[in-house]
Structure 1
Amino acid sequence: MILTNRIKLSIMMFLEFFIWGGWFVTLGTFLVKNLSASGTQISMAYLTQSIGAIIAPFIIGLIADRYFSAQKILGVLHLAGSVILWFASQTSTFDGFFPLIVVYMILYMPTLALVNSVSFRQMKNPALEFPPVRVLGTVGWIVAGLTIGYFGWEQTSQLSLTFKMAAAASALLGLLSFSLPPAPPTQRNANVSIKEMLGLDALKLLNNKSYLLFFLSSIAICIPLAFYYNFTNLFLNEAGMKSAAAVQSLGQVSEALFMLLIPVFFLRLGVKKMLAIGMLAWVLRYIFFSFGNVDQNHWMLIVGIVLHGVCYDFFFVTGQIYTDSHAGERFKSAAQGMITLATYGVGMMIGSLISGPIVDAYATSSGHNWAMIWMIPASVSALVLLLFIAFFKDKKIPAKATENSKLT
């Protein structure tokens, strides 16, 4: 890949995840401290990402694969999103905040598939070339968390500033998107059906039994993931951890390290072991959270956070590459949109609907009984892992990764 393209894609990834990490990590704490929200309302706010993820494949299938270049759509969505985020920072009630964040996530979630699509279109060997580009997204998330910790916005109840910070970054990415490497539509002149226009043709991937099981596992494993995204920051703040958002960025440091090692792990382990190790890390993470505290077992909280690198990279990044290797040239954008629907859409939606009432059920006079709460996602993750190991059969390594391993 041309160096200038690699730099542009890396900046794109940095800003894409800086925007998300800039407000998403501390959302639960913001809602409790600024808007006096309940656990169920927190889950409803996080549920908006699932709404956006479910709509995302239709935006990608209708537009990105057919009418407009992916990088131009990316620019328009981020410019519009910056305006919404700015207005969200001004709200003082949950009823005023919720509709804004619904609209924002409908705009933002398609961009997760778009940045992948723009990247993959420039690469001859995604298994080797994608991780070094995608790792800049992790760095962006880290910088967002460190920024929040540096200014002490959690301790001073100024988390509304996280939305303004994200709005500025979104405006910047929106403008920069128009200078990204071109990713023109692949089906501009094709005679296609309504099913194809909606991006549903990517469902053909599910005819492969191994991919179908991966798809279903992606949905199931994201149910416990909702507990982590929705309530970890609130949990750490209630536990008494200082600068919790900054400490949580250790998870992204771990993510960055393992991201760079993914090509090596692909060659050594193959798809099945990569995915299984990722799910096992989720089980361990929640167990550590259940027994951890800021005193004698502080190390458990840190290890649980650091395990995020294995949790995310071994399952999500591996899954994105696995999906790209199975998708045909015509439907690469739609395929990435479909896996976004499975994970951040259906799976996280179910998890958000379940996690909020559970957290409310374990509320106490001083906060929550987190030891009991975290054992629930640990149990769900363990069940998904066992079923995946028993039935998933595809152990292959992407051919290009094997062919080019001698170059790294």
Structure 2
Amino acid sequence: MMFLEFFIWGGWFVTLGTFLGDNLGASGSEIAQAFSTQSWGAIIAPFIIGLIADRYFNAERILGILHLSGAVLMYLMYTSESFGAFYPYVLLYMILYMPTLALVNSISFNQMKDPAKEFSVVRVFGTIGWIFAGLIISYVFFWDSPEARAEGMLKNTFLMVGIASAVLGGFSFFLPKTPPKVTKEEVTISGILGLDALKLLKDKNFLVFFLSSILICIPLAFYYQNANPFLSEIGVANPTGKMTIGQISEVLFLLLLPYFFKRYGFKKTILAGMLAWTIRYVLFAYGNADELTFMLLLGIGLHGICYDFFFVSGQIYTDTKAGEKYKSAAQGLITLATYGVGMLMGFWIAGKITDTYVLEANMHHWDRIWLYPAGFAILVFAVFALTFKNEKVAYKQ
């Protein structure tokens, strides 16, 4: 289940920007619109889970229905011949897909005696699924090669993912039954969105962290939206397969995180994550597909520090600050702020800046484009370093 869940996401989302630019002639702003559907899905997902899944239906059945519906939408995306026709399908797809991330977790937790110890072993299969999808695209079908892209072969990623989605949709109905959560508390909109945790913002340190989390999503959006088109455009061979280095490093640095967290503390861990974003984009700005390819690969490899050291550390910090009463609400609020508000801002800005540096034949001034998120990340780094007061945070997984 977990393997297919993330195989599906990684099998089309990584190459989306390249496909839209090459095959549908989409502008940077239009590509940003397509990626922003992830944020709209993240904003709407809590309502589907909180108002429907947690109250009325078994999680595995909803998971099956959502993925079967997703298979149909993937086929419609595969057959789309213009951005105008493509966009409604990708928007509806992400609204249906994002809730499945919470559903697979719920189904997993429901079968475990000790989720804190058991879940990581299951979740790593999701990362393996994402890696597997990238390797298939680059090294089995070669859909991201210049010749295949010129023939429009990247659209086959939607067909591949559609088949995987249909398989997971059917398989879901055979998963262990996960009935609705029985709760005496009334489900409220503020509870679903995590607004009950807003009172945590009275703590100055948490407020600084909260705002920094939103702002660091702007550089993150540049990576999601532009990394694959950038690597493809400058002539890096097998770009999608090479981008799986980022997921491999994510697993490795997740293993190193407990040591780093205990050795250097929360503030330095977060700052290391922020600094890694700046270094990554500087490497992208000055690397190339020839003798400086190692700079690009190193930039991709920094993904583990960029993501784990900031976002995973941030989840631990949020959990510590919120306490038992507001734990779920606080995590919901951070998710809404980052993947909702922060990423929406980030994709919009990335789209505008990308369109500003378009050259002839739809090529781009990538060195200038990448310096924007690099500068923004170092600015967030400086503000956080100056305004966040060091405090001891216990590492808990």
Tell me how far apart the structure 1 counterparts of residues 374 and 193 of structure 2 sit (CA, whole Å). Answer: 36
Tell me how far apart the structure 1 counterparts of residues 325 and 309 of structure 2 sit (CA, whole Å). Answer: 26
Q: 1:344 aligns with which of 323, 339, 345?
A: 339
**2:293 is equivalent to residue 298 of structure 1:** yes
Distance change (3 Å), C-alpha of 1:397 and 1:133: farther
> Can you list the C-alpha shifts for 1:251-296, whole angstroms capped at 9, x where unaligned?
1111121223333333333333322211111110000000000122
Tell me how far apart the structure 2 counterparts of residues 333 and 175 of structure 1 sit (CA, whole Å). Answer: 30
Distance change (3 Å), C-alpha of 1:133 and 1:212: farther
Q: 2:168 aligns with which of 170, 173, 183?
A: 173
- What letter matches 2:257 in structure 1? I
Please state how far the C-alpha of 1:222 moved relative to its aligned partner. 0.7
1:18 equivalent in structure 2: 7
- What letter matches 1:96 in structure 2? A
Aligned length: 389
Please state how far the C-alpha of 1:209 moved relative to its aligned partner. 4.0
Tell me how far apart the structure 2 counterparts of residues 125 and 390 of structure 1 sit (CA, whole Å). Answer: 37
Tell me how far apart the structure 1 counterparts of residues 6 and 179 of structure 2 sit (CA, whole Å). Answer: 23
1:56 equivalent in structure 2: 45
Q: 2:142 aligns with which of 144, 152, 156?
A: 152
> Can you list the C-alpha shifts for 1:80-136, whole angstroms capped at 9, x where unaligned?
22221121111111110000001011112233344445556647473x655444332
- What letter matches 1:391 in structure 2? T
Write the mapping of 1:116-265 to structure 2, written as runs, cut at 5 A: 116=105, 118-119=107-108, 122=112, 124=114, 126=116, 130-150=119-139, 151-155=141-145, 156=148, 157-178=152-173, 185-186=180-181, 188-191=183-186, 193=188, 195-196=190-191, 200-265=195-260
Please state how far the C-alpha of 1:240 moved relative to its aligned partner. 0.8
Report if the CA contact (8 A) 2:220-2:346 is conserved.
yes
Distance change (3 Å), C-alpha of 1:56 and 1:326: farther
Higher mean C-alpha deviation, range 117-126 or range 169-178: 117-126
Tell me how far apart the structure 1 counterparts of residues 113 and 308 of structure 2 sit (CA, whole Å). Answer: 19
2:365 equivalent in structure 1: 369
- What letter matches 1:272 in structure 2? K
SS at match of 2:214: helix
Distance change (3 Å), C-alpha of 1:227 and 1:35: same
Please state how far the C-alpha of 1:66 moved relative to its aligned partner. 4.1
1:385 equivalent in structure 2: 381
Please state how far the C-alpha of 1:350 moved relative to its aligned partner. 0.6
Please state how far the C-alpha of 1:181 moved relative to its aligned partner. 6.0
Please state how far the C-alpha of 1:369 moved relative to its aligned partner. 0.7
The alignment's C-alpha RMSD in Å is 2.7
Please state how far the C-alpha of 1:298 moved relative to its aligned partner. 1.3
Write the mapping of 1:350-361 to structure 2, written as runs, cut at 5 A: 350-361=345-356
Tell me how far apart the structure 1 counterparts of residues 390 and 68 of structure 2 sit (CA, whole Å). Answer: 41
- What letter matches 1:111 in structure 2? T
Same amino acid, percent of matched pairs: 57
TM-score scaled to structure 2, two decimals?
0.88
> Can you list the C-alpha shifts for 1:201-239, whole angstroms capped at 9, x where unaligned?
344554544333322222111111111111111111111
Distance change (3 Å), C-alpha of 1:60 and 1:398: farther
Write the mapping of 1:103-114 to structure 2, written as runs, cut at 5 A: 103-114=92-103
Tell me how far apart the structure 2 counterparts of residues 202 and 66 of structure 1 sit (CA, whole Å). Answer: 22
> Can you list the C-alpha shifts for 1:301-357, whole angstroms capped at 9, x where unaligned?
110111111111222233334444555667766554433322221111111111112
- What letter matches 2:64 in structure 1? G
1:310 equivalent in structure 2: 305
Tell me how far apart the structure 2 counterparts of residues 48 and 275 of structure 1 sit (CA, whole Å). Answer: 27
Tell me how far apart the structure 1 counterparts of residues 169 and 264 of structure 2 sit (CA, whole Å). Answer: 38
Higher mean C-alpha deviation, range 208-217 or range 48-57: 208-217
Structure 1 stretches lacking a partner, 5+ long = 1-10, 402-408
Tell me how far apart the structure 1 counterparts of residues 84 and 54 of structure 2 sit (CA, whole Å). Answer: 36
Higher mean C-alpha deviation, range 224-233 or range 129-138: 129-138
Report if the CA contact (8 A) 1:202-1:338 is conserved.
yes
Q: 1:273 aligns with which of 245, 248, 268?
A: 268
Higher mean C-alpha deviation, range 315-324 or range 248-257: 315-324
Distance change (3 Å), C-alpha of 1:310 and 1:37: same
Distance change (3 Å), C-alpha of 1:380 and 1:306: same
TM-score scaled to structure 1, two decimals?
0.85
